[in-house]
């Protein structure tokens, strides 16, 4: 029911929403087929306009280090095999979104990719989640675009969803999810800046009361909603936002995995009591994604 675009329309606050259990697994996808073959976001070309070139060996090394980091902090790690021709399958955040429910069950919503070149990824997510016996839910035909956790960020611990629209997902998708769950609040953000084309490039929830954010990406309405949802919002300077610091992932309220080379945000996170794990994901940034994009929490 509740799709909320303006602060004045939001009657509840996170602590008043039903609690949901944390997700303790991450689904990655082997990057053997990862490449840049077309430009579908502003990060994929170099200054002269040519497509970025991926160093496959380096990409594998970076991906392996990310996988190892998740294992080290105690998450269950599952891996989809590579699929020839699906160069972006390694960005597991996008073809689906797992939604933990207040009763402890979990469902997965399958994506509807904005670009034809990524459409076939969804089937691989469907099979994975069906094999794990998740309730698999699908958007109706009327929804043209829905890029899963790229645009849908779970509020830590609460039945509350932060939902981006504009570049890759449509409001209709969030309406379907909101209609399916009367107890869920969905806060809607109109993304403003093509460099931050998925919500997960501009917002990283840390725990129930804090998040990292890239202010430039949000409209005045969006800013007001975020300020109400997270009492502590740590702003990311633009330079570090362009280094994908906003694509950080905090899976447990303690550790924050993020792209290396963002000293200001790393320091602020440490001062706030988080353990930072800086990882090099430069090969994936050449395609417009970093840590958060490379996994689906489940
Ligand atoms: N090249 C991919 C695309 O443009 C990158 C996806 C990054 N994913 C993310 N969740 N931001 O679709």
The answer to whether the CB of 124 falls within 8 A of the CB of 177 is no
In a domain, 2, yes or no: no
Phi-psi region of 82 (alpha: psi -120 to 50; beta: other; left: phi over 0): beta
| pLDDT one-digit tens code per residue, 122-173 | 999 999 999 999 999 999 999 999 999 999 999 999 999 999 999 999 999 9
> Does residue 161 fall inside a structural domain?
yes
**Overall domain count for the chain:** 1
Cα separation, 58 vs 261, in Å, equals 17
Does residue 100 lie within any of the structural domains?
yes
pLDDT in tens, 206-247: 999 999 999 999 999 999 999 999 999 999 999 999 999 999
Is 1 domain-assigned?
no
* 8 Å CB contact between 56 and 40: no
Inter-CA distances, 159 with 15, 65, 101, Å:
10, 32, 7
Residue written as token pair 């958007």: 139
Ligand 1 contact, 281 CB (< 6 A): no
The pLDDT, as a whole number, for residue 21 is 97
The per-residue DSSP string of 98-137 comes to EEE-TTS-EEEEEPB-SSGGGTTHHHHHHHHHHHTTPEEE
Two structure tokens written together for 119: 């459409």
Q: Which residue has the least CA distance to atom 6 on ligand 1?
A: 289
Measured in Å, residue 177 CA sits from the centre of ligand 1 at 22
Q: What is the pLDDT of residues 27-44, one digit of tens each?
A: 999 999 999 999 999 999
**Tokens 């207040």 belong to which residue?**
102
Domain enclosing residue 56, as ranges: 7-297
CATH of the domain at 113: 3.75.10.10
Give me ligand 1 centre to Cα 143, in Å.
19
Average pLDDT, the chain: 98
**Which pTM does this prediction carry?**
0.97
């Amino acid at each position: 029911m509740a799709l909320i675009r303006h602060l004045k329309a939001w009657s509840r606050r996170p602590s008043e929403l039903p609690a949901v259990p944390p997700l303790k697994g991450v689904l990655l996808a082997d990057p053997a087929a990862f490449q840049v073959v077309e430009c579908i976001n502003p990060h994929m070309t170099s200054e002269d306009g040519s497509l970025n070139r991926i160093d496959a060996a380096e990409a594998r090394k970076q991906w392996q280090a990310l996988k190892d980091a998740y294992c080290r902090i105690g998450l269950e790690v599952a891996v989809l095999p590579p699929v020839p021709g699906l160069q972006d399958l390694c960005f597991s955040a996008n073809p689906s979104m797992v939604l933990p429910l207040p009763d402890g069950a979990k469902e997965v919503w399958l994506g509807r990719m904005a670009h034809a070149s990524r459409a076939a990824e969804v089937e691989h997510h469907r099979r994975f989640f069906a094999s794990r016996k998740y309730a698999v839910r699908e958007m109706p035909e009327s929804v043209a675009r829905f890029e899963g956790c790229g645009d849908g960020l779970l509020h830590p611990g609460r039945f509350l969803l932060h939902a981006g629209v504009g570049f890759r997902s449509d409001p209709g998708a969030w309406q379907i999810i909101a209609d399916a769950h009367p107890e869920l609040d969905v806060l809607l953000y109109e993304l403003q800046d093509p460099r931050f084309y998925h919500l997960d490039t501009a917002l990283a929830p840390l725990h129930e009361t804090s998040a990292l954010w890239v202010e430039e990406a949000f409209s005045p309405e969006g800013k007001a909603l975020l300020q109400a949802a997270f009492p502590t919002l740590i702003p990311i300077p633009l330079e570090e936002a362009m280094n994908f610091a906003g694509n950080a992932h905090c899976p447990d309220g303690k550790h924050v995995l993020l792209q290396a080379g963002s000293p200001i945000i790393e320091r602020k996170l440490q001062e706030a009591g988080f353990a930072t794990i800086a990882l090099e994901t430069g090969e994936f940034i050449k395609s417009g994604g970093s840590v958060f994009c490379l996994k689906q929490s489940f």
